């Protein structure tokens, strides 16, 4: 029993120190802000599917359809 506790303690210690190495990188607030600006201001968004389909047909492009509730800026 004593050896098992010691092994578990050692494993927990090793994992605690290793976690930052394999954890997903965090996005900064500034990066997040720039992503929102890019989505809301630099991309032409249509409020209706028929408009988007017409433009896509004219430019021979695909339509990305996103249906969401709330405000894309995060202020829902």
Residues 23-61: pLDDT tens digits? Answer: 677 888 898 888 888 888 887 888 889 999 999 999 999
**Burial category of 26 from C-beta neighbours within 10 Å (exposed 0-12, middle 13-18, buried 19 and up):** exposed
pTM attached to this predicted model:
0.41
- The domain ranges of the chain are 35-76
Q: Would you state the pLDDT for residue 53?
A: 93
Q: Which residue has the higher pLDDT, 48 or 22?
A: 48
What is the CB neighbour count within 10 angstroms for residue 35?
11
**Burial category of 74 from C-beta neighbours within 10 Å (exposed 0-12, middle 13-18, buried 19 and up):** exposed
Tokens 């929102």 sit on residue: 36
Q: Taking 80 as the threshold, does the pLDDT of residue 62 lie above it?
A: yes
């Amino acid at each position: 029993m004593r050896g098992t506790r010691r092994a578990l303690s050692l494993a927990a210690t090793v994992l605690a120190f290793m976690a930052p190495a394999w954890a997903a990188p965090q996005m900064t607030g500034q990066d997040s802000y720039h992503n929102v600006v890019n989505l809301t201001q630099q991309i032409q968004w249509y409020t209706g599917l028929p408009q988007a389909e017409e433009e896509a047909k004219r430019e021979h492009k695909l339509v990305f359809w996103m249906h969401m509730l709330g405000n894309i800026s995060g202020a829902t």
